[in-house]
């Protein structure tokens, strides 16, 4: 199906109701051209993501193949086997390292795959209580968003709940673009009903009757699992009109992304669902006020949503008892192929990073750590001297790093930092939405300078000061975390690995 072709009647009606101008500004072809994979198949692809860059020593030919392919695919969610290709069918180790699994419950053994085994107990419970009770439990849980920013979920849910109007939306961000993360992928492949139930709970709580799952094209197995589960849920009466004898009606539409990293940014994602050019929107207004088709919209990451049924069943306070400091509950983390024990692990917040890397991950196959990144390609590096840091949002932030989505990519001593920066900035340039000039043009120029440096050239004094100006402009003027993240990763390399420059 062409991307342009699926504007739904319901969406159009909603836009008319809310007085929102959904006339596309550009033609379908012009919008399609934004995406890397709008026409390209995802079969026979090699991944060019940062965990594949980090693991290239394990398969240099595979990495060369990735570099030769166009358009590039940035992250196939197979970082446990990187450098990855679409042909890899190997599955990761999946373990729960906390007293009770919440988001990975049923993921390893697939014991909750069918609608009968899953059961929809949380939705059943919620529908017997007022909608606001669900919002209150999410607030009490102190759950923070797992998609990257760590924003308190309860605040967002309350904001959408408080908005007047009959038309509201809930959106699951299943774009999982952060290289190194394959958490949402396995939640969706192996417990798709948890995502469906979570979206229905969110819809009930905030007063939305329609939900969207924005799912990346690079995850075809997850798409099949989610679509199958949607049919089962409809047949079983967990979606549709008057669910479980209540007056609550809810439907879910799946929208498949087309290979753009920036579409994981929530406002770009909303533009993409609306079939507009998926550039990042200026805020305010925030999506909670004016989001999809101009209506109040709740956007949450898949893993954030996956905690919701447990919170509804056990209470927000019970959830808040887990974890530590300002990071409550549990977190799934994924480790890349350089680890001796790559895989998907659920832990409580507060575990020292060193325990994650050396006990769960078992250290590296190829020698000592040089650095790790935890929160995707656009966050600061963690130096081995910082491995004693406790795993928490604020604690990671304090060392110039981030929890991000929890995909941990380790780099060994073979990694050269100028090559790393050239790689990250190439990714940044290819994936920039183009709205801010320093991000659009500066990232490309910085990539060229880093690449020249990596190829043995020395930067002239003029080029060095040009680079400094570019990074400063990107840091100061970027509208979203894509640009600020590029500046942050460069700053962390200069600060922590300055001796290499
Ligand atoms: C460039 C960029 C890419 C992003 N990609 C993703 C993504 O792939 N998945 C995701 O859940 N959030 C992503 N985010 C974060 C979203 O904008 C948003 O904060 C998140 O979906 C909100 O959900 P949460 O509060 O549950 O984390 C991205 C942000 C930026 C700036
Ligand atoms: S920082 Fe980059 S990706 Fe973000 S809005 Fe600006 S141009 Fe787009």
The 10s digit of each residue's pLDDT in 382-438 is 999 999 999 999 999 999 999 999 999 999 999 999 999 999 999 999 999 999 999
**What's the whole-number mean pLDDT along residues 40-51?**
88
Residue found under tokens 């900035």: 425
**What's the whole-number mean pLDDT along residues 201-219?**
97
**What's the whole-number mean pLDDT along residues 66-95?**
92
> Does residue 20 surpass a pLDDT of 70?
no
pTM above 0.75, yes or no: yes
Nearest ligand to residue 303 Cα: 1
The proportion of the chain whose per-residue pLDDT surpasses 70, expressed as a percent, equals 94
Nearest ligand to residue 260 Cα: 1
Residue 379, C-beta contacts closer than 8 angstroms, at least 6 positions apart = 373, 401, 402, 404, 485, 488, 489, 492
**CA 375, CA 106: separation in Å to the nearest integer?**
25
Taking CA atoms only, the protein residue closest to ligand 2 atom 6 is 436
Query: Which atom of ligand 1 approaches the CA of 175 most closely?
Result: 8
| pLDDT class of 8 with cuts at 50, 70, 90 | very low
Q: Are 87 and 342 in contact (CB under 8 A)?
A: no
Q: What is the pLDDT of residue 18?
A: 57
Q: What is the pLDDT of residue 27?
A: 60
Query: Which atom of ligand 1 approaches the CA of 481 most closely?
Result: 31
> Does residue 9 surpass a pLDDT of 90?
no
Give residue 251 CA to ligand 1 midpoint distance, Å.
Answer: 23
> Does residue 39 surpass a pLDDT of 80?
no
- Single out the residue of 148, 158, 150 nearest to residue 184, CA to CA: 148
Give residue 148 CA to ligand 1 midpoint distance, Å.
Answer: 5
> Does residue 12 surpass a pLDDT of 60?
no
Taking CA atoms only, the protein residue closest to ligand 2 atom 8 is 433
Give residue ranges with CB within 6 A of ligand 1. 145-149, 151, 173, 175-177, 262, 264-266, 299-301, 304, 480-482
User: Lowest mean pLDDT: which of 71-80, 122-131, 218-227?
Assistant: 71-80
Element (H, E) at 437: helix 437-437
> Does residue 323 surpass a pLDDT of 60?
yes
**CA 323, CA 307: separation in Å to the nearest integer?**
13
The 10s digit of each residue's pLDDT in 437-475 is 999 999 999 999 999 999 987 889 999 999 999 999 999
| DSSP three-state, residue 378 | coil
The 10s digit of each residue's pLDDT in 340-365 is 999 999 999 999 999 999 999 999 99
Number of residues in the chain: 501
Pocket probe mutation, ligand 2, options 177, 279, 473, max atoms within 8 Å of Cβ: 279
- For residue 483, the tally of other CB atoms under 10 A from its CB is 27
> Does residue 15 surpass a pLDDT of 50?
yes
Domains of the chain in start order, with CATH, are: 43-90 (no CATH), 93-320 (3.40.50.11540), 323-412 (3.10.20.600), 417-500 (1.20.1440.230)
Give residue 310 CA to ligand 1 midpoint distance, Å.
Answer: 22
Residue 83, C-beta contacts closer than 8 angstroms, at least 6 positions apart = 46, 47, 52, 55, 56, 58, 59, 62, 63, 66, 337
Nearest ligand to residue 298 Cα: 1
Q: What is the pLDDT of residue 2?
A: 35
Going by the DSSP 8-state scheme, the letter that residue 194 receives in this structure is: H
**What's the whole-number mean pLDDT along residues 306-317?**
98
Identify the burial level of 89 via C-beta atoms within 10 angstroms of its C-beta, where 0-12 means exposed, 13-18 middle and 19 or more buried.
Answer: exposed
Give residue ranges with CB within 6 A of ligand 2. 262, 280, 432-436, 439-440, 478-480, 482-483
Q: Are 401 and 372 in contact (CB under 8 A)?
A: no
Give residue 173 CA to ligand 1 midpoint distance, Å.
Answer: 7
**What's the whole-number mean pLDDT along residues 193-208?**
98
367-370: long-range contacts (C-beta < 8 A, 24 or more apart)? 367/412, 367/413, 367/414, 368/412, 368/413, 369/410, 369/411, 369/412, 370/411, 370/412, 370/413, 370/415
Q: What is the pLDDT of residue 37?
A: 80
More confident residue, 134 or 41: 134
| pLDDT class of 4 with cuts at 50, 70, 90 | very low
Taking CA atoms only, the protein residue closest to ligand 1 atom 14 is 265
Q: What is the pLDDT of residue 3?
A: 36
> Does residue 25 surpass a pLDDT of 70?
no
Q: What is the pLDDT of residue 459?
A: 87
Q: pLDDT averaged over the chain?
A: 93
Token output for 101: 């699994």
> Does residue 11 surpass a pLDDT of 90?
no
DSSP 298-364: EEEEHHHHHTHHHHHHH-HHHHHTSEETTEESEEEEEE-TTBSS-EEEEEETT-BHHIIIIIIS-SB
> Does residue 10 surpass a pLDDT of 70?
no
> Does residue 31 surpass a pLDDT of 50?
yes
> Does residue 284 surpass a pLDDT of 50?
yes
Q: How many helices (H) and strands (E) does the chain have?
A: 22, 11
Diameter of the chain measured on Cα atoms: 72
Pocket probe mutation, ligand 2, options 378, 441, 482, max atoms within 8 Å of Cβ: 482
| pLDDT class of 5 with cuts at 50, 70, 90 | very low
Nearest ligand to residue 291 Cα: 1
């Amino acid at each position: 199906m062409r991307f342009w072709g699926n504007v739904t009647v319901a969406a159009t009606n909603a836009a008319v109701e809310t007085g929102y101008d959904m006339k596309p500004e550009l033609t379908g072809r012009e919008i399609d051209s934004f995406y890397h994979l709008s026409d390209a198949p995802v079969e026979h692809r090699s991944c060019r993501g940062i965990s594949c860059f980090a693991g290239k020593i394990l398969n240099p030919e595979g990495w060369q193949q990735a570099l030769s392919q166009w358009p590039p695919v940035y992250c196939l969610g197979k970082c446990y086997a990187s450098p990855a290709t679409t042909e890899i069918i190997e599955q990761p180790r999946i373990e729960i390292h906390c007293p009770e699994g919440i988001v990975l419950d049923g993921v390893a053994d697939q014991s909750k795959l069918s609608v009968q085994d899953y059961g929809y107990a949380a939705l059943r419970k919620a529908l017997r209580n007022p909608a606001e009770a669900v919002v209150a439990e999410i607030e009490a849980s102190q759950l923070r968003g797992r998609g990257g920013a760590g924003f308190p979920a309860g605040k967002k849910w309350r904001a959408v709940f408080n908005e007047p109007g009959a038309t509201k939306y809930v959106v699951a961000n299943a774009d999982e673009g952060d290289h190194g993360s394959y958490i949402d992928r396995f939640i969706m492949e192996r417990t798709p009903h948890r995502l469906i139930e979570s979206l229905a709970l969110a819809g009930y709580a905030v007063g939305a009757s329609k939900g969207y799952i924005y799912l990346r094209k690079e995850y075809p197995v997850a798409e099949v699992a989610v679509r199958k589960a949607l049919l089962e849920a409809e047949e079983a009466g967990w979606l549709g009109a008057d669910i479980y004898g209540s007056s609550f009606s809810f439907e879910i539409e799946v929208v498949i992304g087309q290979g753009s990293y920036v579409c994981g940014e929530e406002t770009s994602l909303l533009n993409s669902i609306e079939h507009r050019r998926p550039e990042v929107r200026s805020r305010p207004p925030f999506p909670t006020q004016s989001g999809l088709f101009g209506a109040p919209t709740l956007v949450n990451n898949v893993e954030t949503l996956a905690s919701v049924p447990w919170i509804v069943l056990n209470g927000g306070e019970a959830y808040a008892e887990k974890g530590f400091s300002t990071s409550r509950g549990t977190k799934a983390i994924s480790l890349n192929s350089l680890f001796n024990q790559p895989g998907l692990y659920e832990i409580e917040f507060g575990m020292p990073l060193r325990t994650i890397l050396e006990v769960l991950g078992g250290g590296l196959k190829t020698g000592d750590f040089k650095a790790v990144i935890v929160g995707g390609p656009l966050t600061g590096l963690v130096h081995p001297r910082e491995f004693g840091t406790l795993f928490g949002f604020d604690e990671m932030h304090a060392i110039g790093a981030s929890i991000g989505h929890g995909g941990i990519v380790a780099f060994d001593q073979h990694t050269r930092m100028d090559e790393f920066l050239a790689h990250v900035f190439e990714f940044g340039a290819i994936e920039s939405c183009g709205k801010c000039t320093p991000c659009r043009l500066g990232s490309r120029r910085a990539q060229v300078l880093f690449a020249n440096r990596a190829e043995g050239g020395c930067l002239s004094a003029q080029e060095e000061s040009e680079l400094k100006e570019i990074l400063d402009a990107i840091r100061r003027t970027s509208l979203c975390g894509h640009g600020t993240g590029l500046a942050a990763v460069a700053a962390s390399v200069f600060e922590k690995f300055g001796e290499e420059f």
